[in-house]
Structure formats: C-alpha cells, structure tokens
Amino acid sequence: MDISLDKKDSNVASIKIKLIEADYQLKVEDKIRDYGKKAQIKGFRAGKVPSGLIRKMYGKSILVDEINHIVGHAIQDYIKDNDLKILGDPLPNQTQVESVDWDGQKDFEFEYNIGLVEDFTVALDKNLSVTSYKIEADKAVIDDAIDNVRTQFGTMTNPEVSEEGDMLYGTLKSADGAIEHDTTLDPSTFAKDEAKKFVGKKSTDEIEVDLSKLFKNEAEIASHLGKTADEITDLDPSFVFVVKNINRKEKAELNQELFDRTFGPDVVKDEAEFTLKVKETIEENYARETASYLNKTVQDKLMEVTKINLPDAFLKDWLKVTGEGKVTDADIEREYHMYADQLRWNLISGQIAKDNEIRAEHEDIKEATRAMIAQQFAGSGMGQFAEQMESFVEHYLQGEKGQNYMKMAEQVQENKVMTFVKEKIDIKEEEVDVEKFKEIVQN
C-alpha cells in the first residue's frame, strides 16, 4: 500500500492511497472462509458451503467492505502519525469512487480531500483593549419595573367605560354576517390610531374595524376568528366589534403583601427597602447581560486580530455531506458565516488552552454541575436536597452515555479560557444607562 499527501494549498490537501491485490487479498480470503463456516444455505450442511459459491454470492460485498476498512484505518493512522490538524472529516473523491470496477479491477486508487488548520498564534497582552459596561438603573427604569410588578400582582376589574390600557372582550362580526366569534382584544398592541377607537367604549357599543390594520398577519386574524389561516383566504377584513365586557388590571398597592409576594416573606419591610431591592435585582440581571456581552466582545476582538484562513469550499462540501440531504446549498450559504465564526473561536480557544495548559479538571466539572443543579432547584428549597446533591451530580454526569460529562467539560474549559484571557488584556469599564447599553448591543 502506498499513501501520500498532495497539498493543494496552505489549508487544503488530499490523501491518496494506492492498493495492490497483495494488500487486501489474504484478508478477503479469510473473510470468505469465515462466511463459509457460518453461512446457512439450503442444500448444504453448516460449515460445508463451497468457497466458490460463497465468493460468487458474497465476494464483491466482502471485497468492498474489506477495502473500505483498510482505507479508513490507513487514513486515520496517516493523519495521526503525521500530526495533521484537520477540520471536519476526510471526504472521498466521489467521482473516483463511482468509477471503480469492483468486478474487474485488481489495483485500486482512492483520494480523500481534507481541510487543514494553518499554524497560527494568539497574542494576549494589554495592547488588546475592550470595553466592559456597567449599568446603573436610573429612576425611570426602577419606576417602570415597580409599575410592572404592581400590574403583575394587581386585580382584575370590569369598569363600565374603557380607558387606554384596558382589554375588551366582545364579538367580531363580518360585514356579511358569515363570521361571528367571541374574542378578547388588547388595543395596546395596535397602532396608535387604531387603539384610540377602543377608548371610551362601554358594553354593547359597536366599533368598525379593519382586521388587516389591527393584526400583524393572517395567523393572528385567524386566531381571533376561531379559524385556520386556510379558512380565511380572500377574507374581507371589514368587521364590527361588539363590546361585551371591559377588563382592567388595577395595580396592587405598595404594601407588605406586595413586598412579600415579590421577594418572599419579610425580605423587605417598607417602600424604601422595596425600591432598593428592585434596583439591585435590575442591576443583577443587567450584570449578567453585560458579562455575556463582554465575553462576546472579547471573542470578536480575538477573532479580528488572529488571522485564521479556513478552507471555506471544503467546509461547505463537508457540511452538505454530513447534512445527509437535509441541508441545501442555500442553507449553507445563509448560515456558513455563523458556523465559520464559531469554528474560528473554537480553534483560538483551544490554542489558548494548549499554550497555557488550561484544562477542565474533574473536580472543576463536578463543581460546575453542582452549581447548575443548585440553580435549577433554587426555587424549590435547596436545603432539602443538600444531602442528595452528590448523587444528583453523578447521575447527571453519567447521563446521555457520557455526553453530559463532555458538555460540562467543554463549558468549564471555555470559562477558564475566558477568565485567563480577561486577565491578560486591557478591559476598560464604562458606566452607561439601560437605553445606551441597548443601543450599543444593537449596533
């Protein structure tokens, strides 16, 4: 057997394998004899089937299987022995495979295309600068959050006349009378001019509406009419809404009952403590968002300064082959940039871990799993599960045939790499309000 590497570019190559009959014949004959011992063929006793008959019936399939086995192992050994850093899996030259004459050929030649990772270095120093944002909730944001809490825990009332913010229950009637269906409308979701039509209304009032102006799509219209989208094809959107009832959420009072329902019994005792607790909760939530955004910013910065040329054409072919007919060329073109970015980051993260001997130790993995399970049980009185925690951890890590363990290991190593990187680069902190942060993220 002869095997060689044909490097076509810095990141694309092919592995070529040549087999002569001597490379596979003995193994094929052994398989034929083994088949003869086990084959159950009518007219022959077990183990007494002539090898010629076995060769005639199964020879080609045995030959194909054995050569594929030899070639597959040879490629993997060659990659390992030559320390080739490949992306994806080797892809056979399909045209060449289809041209093989399994009945007549004695010698075979196969070619497998591979994508290679070029050597690259990751520079980590204070010349790399990113910005970390800190959000302090201002009065407007705090007031809005308190208002939402009061609405959430408020009580439903049914006033006689509607106001802005009320929901209305009633009947939608088509102009021709063919459709009549009871539904609840929330005018706060409508365009401003349309929402005005529902203010100052009382039971039995009729409001002329154009459904195409109230709702975003046919699915929403169909839902409010109790129909499917197919049933309202070519529907005249002119309807009348007959008011039956007005629903208004009266906001809860700022009292101890609201404080307890929001944060638990006796966590806060008065309005000042409640406001402070709301502020802390908002800032904790935004701290998670800003931390996540910082990690993405660090990734983007490292991908920007670390040049990695990917074998794009090869990877697109590989994605299509591994998609097994479920992925189209259009799908790949649309989503490839996201895949490529994730692949670049995985390569960078892996190189940082290798260069700096960063590993996910077993105890790190267990600790991360404990934290994850504790968070899941946070609302269930974690104390009662404390004695069973180690059992939960072991059970989870052994689940999915070890895949859970690998997933947690990858997550732990990723976190350790990110922590290491942030210690090495320059991170400037900037305090912004909520609106400014949203604007930064959107841009």
The most distant pair of C-alpha atoms in the chain lies apart, rounded to whole Å, by: 96
- 429 and 297 in a common domain: yes
Look at residue 338 and tell me if it is in a domain.
Answer: yes
pLDDT of residue 291: 95
- 200 and 101 in a common domain: no
Q: Where is pLDDT greater, at 380 or 47? A: 47
Look at residue 146 and tell me if it is in a domain.
Answer: no
Q: Which residues pair with 249 in a beta bridge?
A: 156
Residue 133 and residue 429: Cα distance in Å, rounded?
A: 6
- CB distance 297 to 129 below 8 Å: no
Residue 308 and residue 110: Cα distance in Å, rounded?
A: 29
CATH number at residue 196: 3.10.50
In the predicted model, what is the mean pLDDT of residues 72-79?
A: 96
pLDDT of residue 13: 96
- 340 and 220 in a common domain: no
pLDDT of residue 37: 75
Which three-class secondary structure state does DSSP give residue 181?
A: strand
- 353 and 245 in a common domain: no
Q: What is the pLDDT of residues 252-261, one digit of tens each?
A: 999 999 999 9
pLDDT of residue 52: 80
Q: Is the pLDDT of residue 137 over 90?
A: no
Nearest to 225 by CA among 198, 269, 187, 185: 185
In the predicted model, what is the mean pLDDT of residues 88-116?
A: 93
- 379 and 241 in a common domain: no
Nearest to 348 by CA among 57, 124, 58: 124
- 163 and 88 in a common domain: no
In the predicted model, what is the mean pLDDT of residues 382-399?
A: 80
Look at residue 86 and tell me if it is in a domain.
Answer: yes
Look at residue 262 and tell me if it is in a domain.
Answer: no
Look at residue 273 and tell me if it is in a domain.
Answer: no
Look at residue 277 and tell me if it is in a domain.
Answer: no
Q: How many CB atoms lie within 10 A of CB 44?
A: 13
Residue 212 and residue 194: Cα distance in Å, rounded?
A: 11
% of the chain surpassing 90 pLDDT: 75
Among candidate residues 196, 221, 250, the one where a domain is terminated: 250
Least confident of 21-25, 38-42, 199-203, 213-217: 38-42
Which three-class secondary structure state does DSSP give residue 2?
A: strand
Percent composition of the chain: helix, strand, coil (DSSP 3-state, to 5): 55, 20, 25
- 337 and 432 in a common domain: yes
Residue 79 and residue 90: Cα distance in Å, rounded?
A: 10
Would strands 155-157 and 238-250 be described as parallel, antiparallel, or unpaired?
Answer: antiparallel
Q: Is the pLDDT of residue 386 over 70?
A: no
Within 8 A by CB and 6+ apart from 49, the residues are 35, 36, 39, 41
In the predicted model, what is the mean pLDDT of residues 118-141?
A: 92
Q: What is the pLDDT of residues 285-337, one digit of tens each?
A: 999 999 999 999 999 999 999 999 999 999 999 999 998 888 899 999 999 99
Residues in the chain: 443
Residue 443 and residue 432: Cα distance in Å, rounded?
A: 15
Q: What is the DSSP letter of 251?
A: P
Q: Is the pLDDT of residue 389 over 70?
A: yes
Please report which confidence band the pLDDT of residue 125 belongs to, taking 50, 70 and 90 as the band edges: very high
pLDDT of residue 377: 76
Look at residue 76 and tell me if it is in a domain.
Answer: yes
Number of compact structural domains in the chain: 3
- 392 and 303 in a common domain: yes
Q: For residues 291-307, b (16+ Cβ closer than 10 Å) or e, as one string? A: eebbbebbbeebbeebe
Which three-class secondary structure state does DSSP give residue 294?
A: helix
Nearest to 58 by CA among 26, 25, 36: 36
- 65 and 210 in a common domain: no
CATH number at residue 437: 1.10.3120
Look at residue 197 and tell me if it is in a domain.
Answer: yes
Nearest to 417 by CA among 368, 362, 345, 337: 345
The pTM assigned to this predicted structure is: 0.72
pLDDT of residue 308: 93
- 206 and 106 in a common domain: no
Would strands 108-116 and 86-92 be described as parallel, antiparallel, or unpaired?
Answer: antiparallel
Q: How many CA atoms lie within 13 A of 31 on its CB side?
A: 17
CATH number at residue 43: 3.30.70.1050
> Residue 180 is part of which domain span?
155-250
- 166 and 112 in a common domain: no
Q: In the predicted model, what is the mean pLDDT of the chain?
A: 91
- 438 and 302 in a common domain: yes
What would the DSSP string read from start to end of 83-111? T--EEEEEEE-HHHHHT--TTT-SSEEEE
